[in-house]
Chains A and B, each alone.
Chain A
Amino acid sequence: MTARSSLRLKLALSVLAAFLLSIVFSWLLHNRLAERDIYSLIDSAFENVRSEIIDCVNERMVRQCMAVREQLDDGHPVDTDSLQALAREMRVTEISVANQDGDIVASSVPDYLAHDGKPAFNFVTAGGKAEDMMCLVHGQETEYCQPFRSNTANGAWRKFVGVWRPQGGFVEIGCDGASLRSLARSSIVDLFRNWRVGDSGGIVVTTATGLVLSDYEEPNREGTQWQEPDESFYWRRGEIESFPVYVMIPRKSAVVRRNVLVGSTATMNGLALVFVAILVGCVISAFVRQQMRAQAAKELEMAKDIQLSALPKVFPPFPDETRFDIVASMDTAKEVGGDFYDFYFTGMDRVLFLVADVSGKGVPAAMFMMRAKTLIKSAAQTGKPLADAFAEANDALCEGNTSNTFVTVWAGELNTRTGRVAFVNAGHNPPIVRGGGVARYLKTKPSLVLGAMPGIRYGVEELQLAPGDVIYLFTDGIIEQPGPSGEPYGEDRLLQALSSIGRAKGDVLASVLADVRRHASGAEQADDCTQLMISYRGEPDTTTYEYAPTMDGLAKASADLAALLAPVPEKYRNQLLVAADEVAANIVKYSGATRWSLTVELVHHPDGVRLVVSDDGKAFDPLDVRDPDTTLCAADRKIGGLGIFIVKKTMSPVTYKRRGGINILTMGKDYGD
């Protein structure tokens, strides 16, 4: 759970980081946007101001031009000097009068008149924008204004305005910057006083020399020297009709706008991020749950491996052993339990066998199972009596057993010579004993389970086995396996199965399991199913012969063996005779032995024969010899190695030992009960 809460913390932190980032980003973005908006506001205001000023100046000049025309119509002399005087009086720079053809017929500027053979200025032929003025004589307009601009005629800056004369031609006045400003000044002063750009910006118009003409902010400042706006304004300066104009917006109004935008964006982003975080959280926790499930499955797999790897799995486990057989199997359920079985020699003629079931499931049960198995084995293999070994294992298991896990065990110790079994039941199901064709539960008063409480004494009871008897141990997974209606397999069914299942060796465990599966009829296996069966065969009839390493010895051995094996079915007898001949012939021909011996063991329950061939010749393990290639054609076939090959194919098990300078080859042949 700590992993998940730290995941939540990380998620919350990353949401916070994303939120802050989004604020910074939107702040930067809106800063830029606000700036752009401000400048476009300033630009459009500037265009408005321009047309406003032009209108105002045009109107003022047209009025002035009409006043000039009135003077002329009233008979004001039109010689150059008189016109110059009139211009001064009317506060314009120049005055000209043109006729119907566009020729200047009178002017305050001598250059425009015909002089020294040069024709008078003609509006049609002068080029540039002069011709536009001809709209007055064509009757299209009664007044016409040109913008303030550089004059093509002499490069001076002028604004020309003309008004038509009803008697033909027109009167034109021209103003330079100074006269324009002095003419229009009073109209402009009032023009922008109440203008606002945006919420709190405005217009400032100055004179060419920087005296304030019109100031939106402080009307009183008019006439004072203008200072260009500082950092606290967005502004633009331009000249319109010779008037320097400033459009300005205080920065702080832009900041307010931006902050409102950033704030609303941040709120929206915050909400969206919280939503996304919740969504991502859900997705991640689903993913984590899936991962945890996968991890759990892996751990179960591991637990299963631990459980299985610890168990002896090679059968027959003691190939040379003729007095008993052990078979065991463990079928693990999907959910791992802590079952195990075990068997080992605890003395020369004593073999211990057990089945156990650890409480609980999964990895902890598997780990406890490992401890229990090891502790029981190490206690039992010291050769102590069974009761003491169990008491010792119990005390060791109790140490540090904080989880209160425990294990039930049924363990028996068979004296392989006498068939006597000493057994301990530490809280386990009673096993089944089958003897003389009858199967029964070996019910005894159980002792306490291992691992529950230290200092427990374990009671040992005894049982006598006759050759052919078996003890069948199992865990409760077998009898508790539920069928389709939930009814468990049960002790009765198990007893019945063991009574009726044929005595064929080896298949008993598989047959029981098949019967349990039939009962389950498709239901999932509920628990581990562990079984162990020990069959007591008793002492074999053993005969040992000793021979010289000669052909004569070989012949004697054949005859002796044939006589001994007379009761053995012919098929097996022949195989045994061939096998003995092959092994003995090798000894006689190649080993350099001084003597060799043949031990014949006739074993029972199930019946079988074991041949043990020993010699004191040089060490030779026939099982090491490579098998011959039996697919070659006649010409390529060799005889060497065929004998051993025949032995390996017909006898089972075949084992080789070298002990005390003696080669010992053991060959077994089982052929039924």
Chain B
Amino acid sequence: MTVAVNGRVDTVTALELEAGLKLDGANLVVLDLAGVPYMSSAGLRLLLTAHKAMLAKGGELQIANLQPAVREVLDITGFSGILNLIG
């Protein structure tokens, strides 16, 4: 299953994304962030939660198409070493 996210992910929008993101069912979820110009720590929290949830049920979360600003935040915080980044 591929989920495409569009728009900035900050404190406000992360709440909306959390509400809208349904990961039930599929064992492999690809989160396509091509449309995300930047992401703050609220988005990171979301990614970590989703990653742990998928691991718990034996599935896998892949994150694809990072924009430079998102990539930078993941690198700074060490998340690029935890999450499965592709593309």
Let me know if A333 is at the binding interface, CB within 8 A: no
15 contacts between A and B (CB under 8 A): A571-B69, A574-B37, A575-B72, A577-B38, A578-B38, A578-B40, A578-B69, A581-B40, A582-B41, A630-B76, A631-B78, A635-B52, A637-B79, A639-B41, A650-B76
B45 to chain A: closest residue by CB = A639
Let me know if A645 is at the binding interface, CB within 8 A: yes
| Additional pairs, 11, CB under 8 Å, beyond known A577-B8, A585-B41, A646-B41 | A570-B37, A570-B69, A574-B68, A577-B38, A584-B11, A585-B10, A585-B11, A630-B76, A631-B78, A635-B52, A646-B40
CB-CB under 8 A from B3, the residues of chain A are none
CB contact between B11 and one of A575, A588, A646, A650 (< 8 Å): that residue: A588
A551 to chain B: closest residue by CB = B12
B46 to chain A: closest residue by CB = A639
Which of A554, A574, A577 has the most chain B CB within a 10 Å cutoff?
A574
CB-CB under 8 A from A646, the residues of chain B are 40-41, 73, 76-77
CB-CB under 8 A from A3, the residues of chain B are none
Q: Lowest 5 A-B CB distances belong to which pairs?
A: A630-B78, A574-B69, A585-B11, A574-B38, A643-B41
B38 to chain A: closest residue by CB = A574
CB-CB under 8 A from B44, the residues of chain A are 639, 642
A576 to chain B: closest residue by CB = B38
Interchain nearest-CB distance for A474 vs B (Å): 40
CB-CB under 8 A from B72, the residues of chain A are 575, 650
Q: Is the CB of B10 within 8 A of A581?
A: yes
Where chain B touches its partner, the secondary structure class is helix
Q: Is the CB of B48 within 8 A of A637?
A: yes
Complex Cα distance, B83 from A637, in Å, reads 12
CB-CB under 8 A from A582, the residues of chain B are 40-41
CB-CB under 8 A from A639, the residues of chain B are 41, 44-45, 48
- B-facing residues in A537-587 (Cβ within 8 Å): 551, 554-555, 558, 570-571, 574-575, 577-578, 581-582, 584-585
Q: Is the CB of A634 within 8 A of B12?
A: no
CB-CB under 8 A from B37, the residues of chain A are 570, 574
Q: Is the CB of B10 within 8 A of A577?
A: yes
CB-CB under 8 A from A488, the residues of chain B are none
Q: Interface residues, chain B, CB within 8 Å of chain A?
A: 8, 10-12, 15, 37-42, 44-45, 48, 51-52, 55, 68-69, 72-73, 76-79, 81-83
CB-CB under 8 A from A314, the residues of chain B are none
CB-CB under 8 A from A632, the residues of chain B are 78
Interchain nearest-CB distance for A649 vs B (Å): 5
Complex Cα distance, B71 from A650, in Å, reads 13
B52 to chain A: closest residue by CB = A634
Which of A577, A632, A642, A649 has the most chain B CB within a 10 Å cutoff?
A642
Complex Cα distance, B10 from A207, in Å, reads 142
Interchain nearest-CB distance for A652 vs B (Å): 13
Question: Quick one: given A558-B8, A633-B82, A634-B55, are A585 and B42 in contact (CB under 8 Å)?
Answer: yes
Let me know if A628 is at the binding interface, CB within 8 A: yes
CB contact between A634 and one of B39, B48, B76 (< 8 Å): that residue: B48
Q: Interface residues, chain A, CB within 8 Å of chain B?
A: 551, 554-555, 558, 570-571, 574-575, 577-578, 581-582, 584-585, 588, 628, 630-635, 637, 639, 642-643, 645-646, 649-650
Q: Is the CB of B77 within 8 A of A554?
A: no
CB-CB under 8 A from A574, the residues of chain B are 37-38, 68-69
Q: Is the CB of A645 within 8 A of B8?
A: no
Q: Is the CB of A578 within 8 A of B39?
A: yes
Q: Is the CB of A555 within 8 A of B12?
A: yes
CB contact between A558 and one of B12, B15, B68 (< 8 Å): that residue: B12
CB-CB under 8 A from A584, the residues of chain B are 11
Interchain nearest-CB distance for B77 vs A (Å): 5
B39 to chain A: closest residue by CB = A578
Complex Cα distance, B68 from A650, in Å, reads 13
CB contact between B68 and one of A555, A571, A631, A643 (< 8 Å): that residue: A571
CB-CB under 8 A from B81, the residues of chain A are 631
Interchain nearest-CB distance for B38 vs A (Å): 4
Complex Cα distance, B51 from A635, in Å, reads 10
Q: Is the CB of A643 within 8 A of B78?
A: no
Interchain nearest-CB distance for B3 vs A (Å): 19
CB-CB under 8 A from B68, the residues of chain A are 571, 574
CB-CB under 8 A from A637, the residues of chain B are 48, 78-79, 82
Complex Cα distance, B51 from A643, in Å, reads 19
CB-CB under 8 A from A585, the residues of chain B are 10-11, 40-42
B11 to chain A: closest residue by CB = A585
CB-CB under 8 A from B10, the residues of chain A are 554, 558, 577-578, 581, 585
Q: Is the CB of B39 within 8 A of A649?
A: no
Complex Cα distance, B45 from A643, in Å, reads 10
B51 to chain A: closest residue by CB = A634
CB-CB under 8 A from B39, the residues of chain A are 578
CB-CB under 8 A from B12, the residues of chain A are 551, 554-555, 558
Complex Cα distance, B68 from A575, in Å, reads 10
Q: Is the CB of A643 within 8 A of B40?
A: yes
CB-CB under 8 A from A578, the residues of chain B are 10, 38-40, 69, 73
CB-CB under 8 A from A645, the residues of chain B are 76-77
Complex Cα distance, B79 from A35, in Å, reads 104
CB-CB under 8 A from A628, the residues of chain B are 77
B10 to chain A: closest residue by CB = A581
Question: Quick one: given A642-B44, A646-B77, are A554 and B11 in contact (CB under 8 Å)?
Answer: yes
Interchain nearest-CB distance for B79 vs A (Å): 8
Complex Cα distance, B38 from A554, in Å, reads 16
Complex Cα distance, B7 from A384, in Å, reads 56
Complex Cα distance, B8 from A574, in Å, reads 9
Complex Cα distance, B40 from A584, in Å, reads 11
Complex Cα distance, B54 from A635, in Å, reads 12
B67 to chain A: closest residue by CB = A574
Q: Is the CB of A642 within 8 A of B77?
A: yes
Complex Cα distance, B12 from A551, in Å, reads 6
CB-CB under 8 A from A551, the residues of chain B are 11-12, 15
Complex Cα distance, B55 from A670, in Å, reads 41
Interchain nearest-CB distance for B32 vs A (Å): 18
Q: Is the CB of B82 within 8 A of A575?
A: no
Q: Is the CB of A634 within 8 A of B40?
A: no
CB-CB under 8 A from A633, the residues of chain B are 82
CB-CB under 8 A from A642, the residues of chain B are 41, 44, 77
Interchain nearest-CB distance for A545 vs B (Å): 16
